[in-house]
Amino acid sequence: MTVKFRQFSFLISAPKLANCPADIGVEVAFAGRSNAGKSSAINALTDNKKLARTSKTPGRTQLINFFSIDNQPDSPRIVDLPGYGYAKVPLTTKLHWQKHLNQYLEERQSLQGLVLLMDSRQPFQDFDMMLLNWSKAAQMPIHLLLTKSDKLKPNQSRNQLFQAKKVIEDYPHASIQLFSSTKKTGLSDLKNQLNQWLLPKNTDSE
């Protein structure tokens, strides 16, 4: 059985944990810097260019956005977390979102794994390492996408992946791959990882 990613649709936007859907079932959260390509990756995954909003201005997504199959709150969910590291937002707003993101990560029981997106040309920025270290401490599975790999020459992207694998050697719950929303590079690998998280072994869900 596999998740029917094309059937995902928008469920709800939540400004904080208290406004999130009922904490039941399973979900996977996409996180990353505001220029890492989260929305583009979700759109490529679901084969729907309009599902997650993309913007030329990084940091426009400042809500926790939930997507589910057929708008059913108990179906597998994909969660688009607010992009962090955006510069054109007041410090008070950044602190506000950091507080609510921390609450989501620490208290959300249905969260099965994190997808951390990093620009393959500039991976492992400070915020990326913070989330990676949090996942290690929490023993939360995390899958890293080196995005925009089409912007690099093949030998450059392979070298970036090789170096990145060295970085995560001390993170037993972490895995990593190259990814390009434009070229669909690595899309099948991402789907395979999400299937492992969103389809419990004792579930016959599609």
- pLDDT, tens digit, for every residue of 38-86? 999 999 999 999 898 765 545 445 788 999 998 777 799 999 998 766 5
| Average pLDDT of the chain, as a whole number | 88
- Percent of the chain's residues with pLDDT above 90: 70
What is the predicted pLDDT for the residue at 127? 85
3-state DSSP assignment of residue 170 = helix
What is the predicted pLDDT for the residue at 100? 77
pLDDT band of 1, cuts 50, 70, 90? confident
How distant is the alpha carbon of residue 92 from its chain centre? Answer: 24
What is the predicted pLDDT for the residue at 83? 77
- pLDDT, tens digit, for every residue of 90-99? 666 666 667 7
Judge whether residue 185 has pLDDT over 70.
yes
Of the given ranges (14-28, 91-105, 121-135, 173-187), which has the lowest mean pLDDT? 91-105
159 membership: H or E segment, kind and range: helix 154-167
What is the predicted pLDDT for the residue at 132? 94
Contact present, 81 and 101 (Cβ < 8 Å): yes
Tell me how far apart the alpha carbons of residues 97 and 84 are, in angstroms, rounded to a whole number: 9
Of the given ranges (23-32, 59-68, 173-182), which has the lowest mean pLDDT? 59-68
Contacts of residue 134, Cβ cutoff 8 Å, sequence gap at least 6: 105, 140
What is the predicted pLDDT for the residue at 173? 96
Tell me how far apart the alpha carbons of residues 138 and 98 are, in angstroms, rounded to a whole number: 17
3-state DSSP assignment of residue 164 = helix
- pLDDT, tens digit, for every residue of 98-143? 777 888 999 999 999 999 999 999 999 988 998 999 999 999 999 9
CA atoms within 13 A on the CB side of 44: 20
Residue 166, sorted as left (phi over 0), alpha (psi -120 to 50) or beta, turns out to be alpha
What is the predicted pLDDT for the residue at 203? 41
Q: What angle do CA 69, 43, 180 make, to 5 degrees?
A: 135
Contact present, 64 and 80 (Cβ < 8 Å): yes
What is the predicted pLDDT for the residue at 55? 53
What is the predicted pLDDT for the residue at 95? 67
What is the predicted pLDDT for the residue at 172? 94
